[in-house]
Amino acid sequence: MQQVDLDVLTRTKDFIEANDTESVLALFGVDPAIAEHCTFDHGAVLVFPSSISDIPDALLAVGLVVGPAVPSVVVRGRLARRYGISGLTVQILRAPVGSREIEIFALEGAPDDVVAAEREHEHESHLALAVTAPDQVVLTGLMAALEQGGLVPDGGGYNAHVDCTVLYFRGAGRRLELISAGHHSAVLREHLRREPAHRLLELMTGAWQTKAIAVAASMGIFDRLADRMSTRDIAKAVGADRDSLQRLLRYLASLGVVRSTCCGYTLTPMGALLRTDARYSLHPLALLYGGAFYLSFGALENSVRTGRESFEYVFGMPHFDYFAANPSLGFNRAMAASASIFGQVAEVFDFSSAEHVVDVAGGNGELLKQVLHGAPHLRGTLFERPDVAALAAENLSEFADRCAVVAGDFTGGVPSGGDVYMLSRILHDWDDQQCQAILKRCADSMPRDAQLLIVERLLPEDGSPSLAPAWDVHMLCNVGGRERTVSHYRNMLAEAGFTLTASHDLPLDFSLITSRPR
């Protein structure tokens, strides 16, 4: 065995002797609380002996006594995939180091370029934590804790020779192994799905998901599944090739939209939202996202290069004008479908002292409808373009005695006399200058003691997960507007003469921003 391998083994042995579970966790920046479920088990290195049989005598020189060699299935597979070489022989030898051990992967007869690359990058060197009482719940929690600490899934496998499941992670310039006795196949599958390459493929095929859902919605498949129709009967009813329909349903099942049963397929809670008769149906949104917006998003590069919406580039006119000219595409129905989630506005905001609420550009009136349901004492005014106002009047007909629908355009002004004004998903359609003009028109019409409610998705200021960044690119591409942070809204409101007073969370990463005129 070469001196370079003996030096690596000596350093690893010294590290094992000097550290414990808590210090290893600290090295990776992981929550030390997980030490309750695991313990520092071993350190591992990859060496390149000329013969496996030479290893025991060579290691005596550095104070290590090794046990018998066993095949390493996981490392052999990783090396084969990394270098495209089959037929490698990798053995594992273990040597005690106090109460722990050093794990030695021995690769015999490797090509010189493989040896050089592995010595430089040390891909297979790692520190290992043994799970003390492994089960699916514990392993899933440990995986989540390690990923929250910044570690990235980096392969794994099951070694039948020693009956253990290993999960590798990489972080802080090092690799960490989570080793569990037994075969935990479900956990292993989930871990491998979370590897960067696997996750990247899922992201790159996201457009396939959008189109598959839209096609199923357009063909009425979700309604027929709700009626418990068989795949054969659905294919006949919608005029589809049975085998092709089966393949589409299988893909939708992998997305969690439908579920396979012994007799065919049934809707999941997600799929139930795509029924046309669902209370909060997202069927119109599925058609919109898989239709016109799908086509315009295909020209995203044009928006990134020019800063202008690609919708106009693709369709020859801005999206509001296009959908007004093509009402059969159901843009207003899609907006109403998403507005229906805002029933919590009446719960989050206290309307008890208000008398008159004005919904500016309120679409078909779904939000105002829910506010009036939640506050029976309120009067309402919905202000919308003439082509939408008729739809709003029909939707709000049950409140005809306390709600007026006024046709108009907020670019010229808004109705006066309200004590609460609402702008729901309006400002994100426009640039800052246009938003200032809209806000100032509201300020000009509002009494000094009135309040302005804004419903928008807020870009997180701390990088936390949110739907808002995706919708920000959507606004760039399809509308020409943008999503904003709460600080951005605070400054924009201040310039228009308002003081932002609060921000409340709503479903689907929306927020309710409240403000008052200064």
Instruction: Summarize pLDDT for 6-51 with one digit per residue, the tens.
Output: 999 999 999 999 999 999 999 999 999 999 999 999 999 999 998 8
Count Cβ atoms within 10 A of the Cβ of residue 380 and give its class: 0-12 exposed, 13-18 middle, 19 or more buried.
buried
Q: At what angle do helices 331-339 and 386-395 cross, to 10 degrees?
A: 50
> Which residues are registered as beta bridge partners of 511?
456, 505
As a whole number, mean pLDDT of residues 390-410 equals: 93
Catalytic residues: 428
Please state whether beta strands 356-360 and 379-384 pair in parallel, antiparallel, or not at all (unpaired). Answer: parallel
Whether residue 426 is predicted with pLDDT greater than 70 in this model: the reply is yes
Give yes or no for a contact between 118 and 45, defined as CB atoms under 8 angstroms apart.
Answer: no
Q: What is the structure's pLDDT at 341?
A: 64
Give yes or no for a contact between 17 and 97, defined as CB atoms under 8 angstroms apart.
Answer: yes
As a whole number, mean pLDDT of residues 272-294 equals: 93
Residue 273 DSSP label: T
Candidate from 52-66, 169-183, 196-210, 354-368 with smallest mean pLDDT:
52-66
Residue 229's pLDDT band, with cuts at 50, 70 and 90, is very high
Rounded Cα gap, residues 154 and 150, in angstroms: 12
Query: 370: closest CA among 255, 486, 506?
Result: 506
Q: What is the structure's pLDDT at 53?
A: 87
Main-chain dihedrals φ then ψ at residue 498, nearest 5 degrees: -115, 160
Q: What is the structure's pLDDT at 19?
A: 96
Whether residue 336 is predicted with pLDDT greater than 80 in this model: the reply is no
Q: What is the structure's pLDDT at 269?
A: 95
The pair of structure tokens assigned to 142 is 């440990």
As a whole number, mean pLDDT of residues 77-82 equals: 88
Burial code (b: 16+ CB inside 10 Å, e: under 16) for 340-367 equals bbbbbbbeebebeebebbbbbbbbbbbb
Instruction: Summarize pLDDT for 430-485 with one digit per residue, the tens.
Output: 999 999 999 999 999 999 999 999 999 999 999 889 999 999 999 999 998 999 99
Count other Cβ atoms within 10 Å, centred on residue 501.
12
Locus of tokens 């994100």: 428
As a whole number, mean pLDDT of residues 125-153 equals: 95
Output the average pLDDT for the chain: 93
Count Cβ atoms within 10 A of the Cβ of residue 475 and give its class: 0-12 exposed, 13-18 middle, 19 or more buried.
buried
Q: What is the structure's pLDDT at 94?
A: 93
Residue 334's pLDDT band, with cuts at 50, 70 and 90, is confident
Rounded Cα gap, residues 363 and 356, in angstroms: 18
Instruction: Summarize pLDDT for 350-385 with one digit per residue, the tens.
Output: 999 999 999 999 988 989 999 999 899 999 999 999
As a whole number, mean pLDDT of residues 173-178 equals: 93
Q: What is the structure's pLDDT at 233?
A: 96
Predicted TM-score (pTM) of the model is: 0.82
Rounded Cα gap, residues 182 and 179, in angstroms: 9
Q: At what angle do helices 231-238 and 242-254 cross, to 10 degrees?
A: 120
Among residues of the chain, what percentage have pLDDT more than 90?
77
Q: What is the structure's pLDDT at 338?
A: 67
- The sign of the dihedral angle between the CA atoms of 440, 446, 448, 449 is negative
Instruction: Summarize pLDDT for 93-104 with one digit per residue, the tens.
Output: 999 999 999 999
Residue 254's pLDDT band, with cuts at 50, 70 and 90, is very high
Whether residue 259 is predicted with pLDDT greater than 90 in this model: the reply is yes
Rounded Cα gap, residues 73 and 79, in angstroms: 10
Give yes or no for a contact between 314 and 299, defined as CB atoms under 8 angstroms apart.
Answer: yes
Q: What is the structure's pLDDT at 62?
A: 85
Rounded Cα gap, residues 310 and 306, in angstroms: 9
Give yes or no for a contact between 478 and 310, defined as CB atoms under 8 angstroms apart.
Answer: yes
Q: Which residues have CB under 8 Å from 342's CB, separation 6+?
A: 366, 367, 370, 424, 455, 506, 507, 510
Instruction: Summarize pLDDT for 475-501 with one digit per residue, the tens.
Output: 999 998 999 999 999 999 999 999 999
Q: What is the structure's pLDDT at 340?
A: 58
Query: 40: closest CA among 25, 61, 26?
Result: 25
